[in-house]
Every structure is written in structure tokens, then in C-alpha cells.
Amino acid sequence: MKLESLNHLLLATVSTLVFDVGAFAQETATTTPANRLVIHADQGKTTISKHIYGHFSEHLGRCIYEGIWVGEDSPIPNTRGIRNDVVAALKQIKVPNLRWPGGCFADEYHWKDGIGPREQRPKIINTHWGGVVENNHFGTHEFMDLCEQIGAEPVICGNVGSGTVQEMMEWVEYMTSDADSPMVNLRRQNGRDKPWKLRYFAVGNENWGCGGNMRPEYYADVYRRYNTFIKNYSGNRVYRIACGASDGDTHWTDVLMANAARHMNGLSLHHYSLPTGSWSGRKGSATKFDEKEWFAVVKHAQIMDDLIVKHLEVMDRHDPRKRVDLVVDEWGAWYDVEPGTNPGFLYQQSTMRDALLAAGTLNVFNQHADRVKMANIAQIINVLQAVILTDKERMLVTPTFHVFEMFTAHHDATLLPTELACADYTFESNKIPGLSASASRDQAGRIHVTLGNLNPNSAAELTCELSGAKVQKISGRVLTADDMRAHNTFDQPDRVKPGSFTDAKLTAGGFTAKLPAKSVVVLELE
């Protein structure tokens, strides 16, 4: 072959190769998007306990008084002193359980102060939260009435820090026994003949801190002692929750599991999201923040995942049968209080940033539903990451409320395994996965997918492959806003609320969706 012919052949081959590589790259970019979700619709085995979506009510600030309890003589519409508007809202998000009376307050609360004629109940000082005087008008009967009105199971947190074993034992008897005994007859005297059903009882709260500053070795022994006297009366069986660790303190978990695992049903974990990362000094504003603080808060959804994994590793070493559940009974965002409010009342607003934190965290809980069986956001009304805010007779629901309402589709549904590959959300030199997701199948066979786009600046194109199921219909709702600081106020109570989502389309193997920036989306597949 002549040299000229060889050169022409080589040039043609190179040109073909360059063209083919370019075509391959273009095809790959088209068929392999940056955001890809696979849902294994035929592999679900684990039930997502509805109790993952629990709430927390403490005698703190205006959570109980004004938020829940206004008294029977209040001009605010109420049923036996409990606000009707609050009850209606809480029923809307299907609150599965409610934790009470604390929090730090629990370990200085003596339950007998909160029973009997209200005018005769002694007043106490709330030393933890603002030094205000409590009149004890909201006690055991009122709390149980609230739970019955909203359809929630009570979660009672007992006093270990300053209470006695006898006091805790008698409280459980007072609430759950049907015997002819002094405690039960006292309950009858106070207007309740039949016992209440009480499944969940926590033996102390944060006993490593405000609940007594105990060492784990000491608390493990204290827990074993107090737990011995929590009896199962009249067919009621108590699920016992031991005080667990704060954040990444796996040593506490290790000691508790080694010394008390066989005496507990659940071990708690507490974790709060602080944009500045510091408990001392400025925590950051709930409404006046920049993208750096946005990023720090939404990142905590991934931190929650890491914490769960680390604590479960320790728990499973001592409990290979996985009998003891993980109970995340305090979580949420913690900011500086709103200007002009009592620093001890922890009153803060809730924005789209908190909605994304809530959605990301709830998706994490769903993914760990085999071991996380209960969680409680802090707190339900007027405190920290509340779902409801009140101002005298006025009430509003927050973006966090809307997330809980959108996620009710997951309650007691079957978790569907998922695989998510997504582009990172990058801020400065830091990055986190830009999307969060979980999926479930309800008893009617409908599949629900909850998605969060953590990036406040960019929409995200998502392709989903649905394995093991064929669907004929897709619909959805979206929670988003034009401003990442957007929130509801008493003058604009509906600024942030869910709307119809139409940017999801069925494909031969699943669906595609375009998720707006800073959005929470729930899809229903039938």
C-alpha cells in the first residue's frame, strides 16, 4: 500500500473513533443522568412504624400553657381546656405518639402535684425554663385527655433525677391498674374510673446532663433499679425506654447495652441541628441566615444517618438478635430565640430550611426502619422546631407541619429498598448529597416516594427505575418557596404550603421528575 493511501486510512479511522467517542459520551449523558433512583418494589419486608413520626411536648415556654392548654373558661374554643384548633391540626398530621412532660422538666416533675382539683394543686417553679411559676393545671388527666382527643399514644417520661422509685411505681399503677388499691381509688376519686392504656414509659431523660449528670455506669444501675418497679397491671404491657446518648457518645451506648440491655425495649438518642455548631454563644437566627447556615442545617440529615449507623453498630454487638430498638426521642433544629421573647422559652420560627431538615431526617428514619421504631421531633407547639405556633386566639402551621402531613403516607407502610445516586450539593469546599429519598407501599398497594432537594439554588432532574412493579398513574404534591427563608406568619399564615406537583412523568420503566430548588415532594404511584 502506498504511503498516501495509508495516511488517508489512518485519518479516517481516527476520525471515526473520535466521532464514536463523542457519540458515546452524548449517549451516556442522555441515558445516565446525574440523579438516579432505583426502587425495588418487590423486595419490601420492613414496616415503617408510624411512631417514627412522633412528637414531644414539654412544660417549656408556651408549649403546654397557651399552646395546648387554655383552661375551660377561656374565650378560645376548647374542649375541657384543650384548644380545639390545635387538636384539629394535630389530627391532620396523624400524631402517633406524644412524649410528656419533658425533657429536662421531667426530672423535676412530681406527678401528684398535677392531679386532683386544679385550684388545690400546688404551684412550682420551672427552674429549667425561664424560672416561671407553674400552676400544675395541666397534669396526668389533662395530658391523657389530649392524647385521646388527637388519637395519639402517650409516652410518659418518668422522674429519675429528683424522684423516687416509689413515686414512679405509683404513677404507673395510678395510670394503668384496675385494682382496688389506694392509687387506683385515688384516680377514680379524680374522675377516671377505667385505667388508661400506657404502652411507652421512659425511665428518665438526659440523665447524663440535666437529668442528674450521671456517669453511664451509674445510670445503668439506676435504670435497672427503677425499671424493676415499673409493673404491668391489668393486661397493660409497658415498653421501657432507657435514657440513651447525646449525639456521638457511643461510650454511653456501649455501657448501657453491656449492663442493662436485657431490661429495656428501647434506647434513646438525642441530636439537635445547630447552624453554628456551638451550644455556647450564638446559635444562629431562625429566619435571618445565609447559604452557609442553610448548608450547615440541612447537612444534619446526613449526620443523623451517621449517628444512627454508629450507635446501632454498638447496640448490635451486645444485642445480635436486635431486640432493643433505637428511639430518637429528641431531634430538630435549635436556633436563637425570636427577638423580644423570653430566652428560656426557646420560641423560634420555622422556614423552608427546617422543612428540608425534617424531610431529610424523616427519610433517614424510614431507611433505618428495621431498627428505628420511634422518634419525636422537638417540640410540638411554640418551642424549637414546632409544627404549630400560637398567638393568643390565633394559630398557624409551619413548613415543618406540612412535611409531617405529606409524610403520613409512610405510616405503617412497607419500606421499599432504594438506591439513590445523585449529584452533590456543594457549598464552598463542602459537599453533601443533593437529594434525599425513601419509598414505601401502603396496604392498598399504592407506592409513595418522598423526595427532598436540599440545594436552594438549582432544580434537579431525577430519573427513577421502578423494579418489580408496573404503575399506570402518578400524582404528587410539592412544598417549596421562592426564598429559602420563607415562613408563615400570623399576618401571612399560608405563605408556605403544599401545592400540586405536575413535573413527574411515567416512563416505560418508572418515572422522571424535575424537583424545584429547596423543595419537598411526595409522589403517589398507582
Euclidean distance between the first and final Cα of the chain, in Å?
Answer: 66
Residues forming a β-bridge with 462: 513
What's the confidence (pLDDT) of residue 32?
A: 39
pTM: 0.92
Catalytic residue among 153, 206, 293, 405: 206
Predicted pLDDT at 12: 39
Q: Where are the beta strands (DSSP E) in 220-285?
A: 239-246, 266-273
SS3 state of residue 271: strand
524 is catalytic: no
- 164-57-296 Cα angle (round to 5): 115
- One of 330, 419, 428, 461 is an active-site residue; which one? 330
- Res 34: pLDDT: 86
Whether 361 and 302 have beta carbons less than 8 Å apart is answered as no
Residue 263: predicted pLDDT: 97
Task: Indicate the Cα dihedral angle 378, 50, 172, 149, nearest 10°.
Answer: 80
CA distance 485 to 147: 33
What kind and span of H or E run contains 401? helix 399-406
pLDDT of residue 27: 34
- Helix, strand, coil fractions of the chain, as percent rounded to 5: 30, 25, 40
Calpha distance 398→153 (Å, rounded): 23
Other CB atoms within a 10 A radius of the CB of residue 518 amount to: 27
Q: Average pLDDT by consecutive 10-residue portion of the chain (526 residues)?
A: 38 37 36 79 96 98 98 97 98 98 97 97 94 96 98 98 98 98 98 97 98 98 98 96 97 98 98 89 94 95 95 98 98 96 96 98 98 98 98 98 98 98 95 97 97 97 94 97 97 97 95 98 97
Give the DSSP per-residue string, 32-72: S-S-EEEEETT----B--GGGGEEE--SSTTSSBTTTB--T
